[in-house]
Amino acid sequence: MSMFSITVPASTANLGPGFDSAGLALNLYLTLHVEKSEHWEFVHESVHLPPAPDASEHLIYKTAERTANLYHSTLPPCKVIMESDIPLARGLGSSASAIIAGIELANQLCELSLSIEEKLRIATDIEGHPDNVAASLYGGLVITSQLPNGDIEVFKKTDAELDFIVYIPVVELKTEDARKVLPEQFTRNEAAKASAVGNVMIAALVSGNYELAGKMMEEDLFHEPYRSSLIPNYSEIREEAKIAGAFGTVISGAGPTMISFTSKGKGQEVAAQLQNLLSSHQVSVLKMDSDGSSVNLDVNNFKAFGI
Ligand SMILES: Nc1ncnc2c1ncn2[C@@H]1O[C@H](COP(=O)(O)OP(=O)(O)O)[C@@H](O)[C@H]1O
Ligand SMILES: N[C@@H](CCOP(=O)(O)O)C(=O)O
């Protein structure tokens, strides 16, 4: 008998030049059903999830324990039944969604009453960058910046008139590996050019000038030039999606999935054309998730368990 469930959306990060800053929540979900138990146990019920490791090795448990410890609290043992639509290590923010789920789990079990800002700060400490975790937590399009004092500023927008097409290859690419190919440093000239591209892209995206936003997405200088060789069919997907009518196509997060932005209602047509060319990719049309993570209490059961 479930006490509560936690739902967390997937996300796409960067949107081209918004490296480690821009994120957008997508309507694929990680769901946890949490039951009281004598000992910790995870049960994975999805083709996207590998067999569950020991609880002590589970990213969600480790995140929940770290969160509880931060507030000098102890997690009561639970059985967690997990379902997921989010493919792992494909650039759709699976680790960020798991981290948000772990924080929400500790927040409920230990009655921490964390604010959304506190959740974001813990999640960013664990993930290393705020883009995916902010999108999964807040929903919508988020533009984030972590300040030197650790505070994280978040701008959120939910009214983008867009469809999103994801091209998911069979192969995995760990974010950790895709970060290793990036330069440690940029010259002032390189940094100025790269941030100018990002500035115009964000201004265009937020103001609804999607033609310009798509054009600038494809001009990224922060990460795409270094990662493109790791991405199956990178140039072909960009070129064919443009011909089919997409505003722009970029690497989703650290890849290997790519994502196109099209006008609302155009997604299916573009996806159908690209799926014909990409027999080994899964091509899907997704929508923005506007709400971010949520917790649904089964009030009767929650009280009955005395938590
Ligand atoms: N629901 C989950 N439960 C446990 N671990 C997860 C879950 N989702 C992701 N992970 C961990 O995160 C890794 C993928 O993270 P990462 O390389 O950052 O790719 P992604 O782009 O999918 O976030 C997986 O290999 C797994 O170790
Ligand atoms: N800004 C990060 C985003 C990683 O996203 P993921 O979905 O691949 O985990 C990066 O580009 O490394």
Q: Residue range 106-112: average pLDDT?
A: 97
Tell me: pLDDT of 305 over 90: no
Q: Whole-number mean pLDDT of the chain?
A: 95
- The dihedrals phi and psi of 7, each to the nearest 5 degrees, come to -125, 130
Tell me: pLDDT of 50 over 90: no
Q: What is the ipTM, given to two decimal places?
A: 0.98
Ligand 1 and 214: CB distance under 6 A? no
258 within 8 A of 231, measured Cβ to Cβ: yes
Closest to 133 in 3D by CA, of 231, 8, 40: 8
Closest to 281 in 3D by CA, of 235, 232, 247: 232
CATH 3.30.70.890 segments of the chain: 162-286
pLDDT category at 2 given cuts 50, 70, 90 is confident
Tell me: pLDDT of 304 over 60: no
**Ligand 2 mutation target, pool 132, 176, 181, 184, most atoms within 8 A of CB:** 132
54-101: per-residue pLDDT in tens? Answer: 999 999 999 999 999 999 999 999 999 999 999 999 999 999 999 999
197-207: per-residue pLDDT in tens? Answer: 999 999 999 99
137 marked ligand binding residue: no
282 within 8 A of 258, measured Cβ to Cβ: no
- Kindly state the DSSP code that residue 187 receives in the 8-state scheme: -
Measured distance CA(157)–CA(159) in Å, rounded: 6
Identify the residues whose C-beta falls under 6 Å from ligand 2.
13-14, 19-20, 91-93, 95, 129, 131-132, 175, 179, 223, 253-254
Ligand 1 atom, smallest distance to 87 CA: 22
**Ligand 1 mutation target, pool 80, 81, 88, most atoms within 8 A of CB:** 88
Measured distance CA(140)–CA(255) in Å, rounded: 20
At the second CATH level, the architecture of 162-286 is 2-Layer Sandwich (3.30)
pLDDT at 298: 81
Per the rule left: phi > 0, alpha: psi between -120 and 50, beta: everything else, 91 is left
pLDDT at 301: 63
CATH 3.30.230.10 segments of the chain: 2-157+290-304
CATH, range 2-157+290-304: 3.30.230.10
Distance 128 CA to ligand 2 centre (A): 10
Distance 59 CA to ligand 1 centre (A): 8
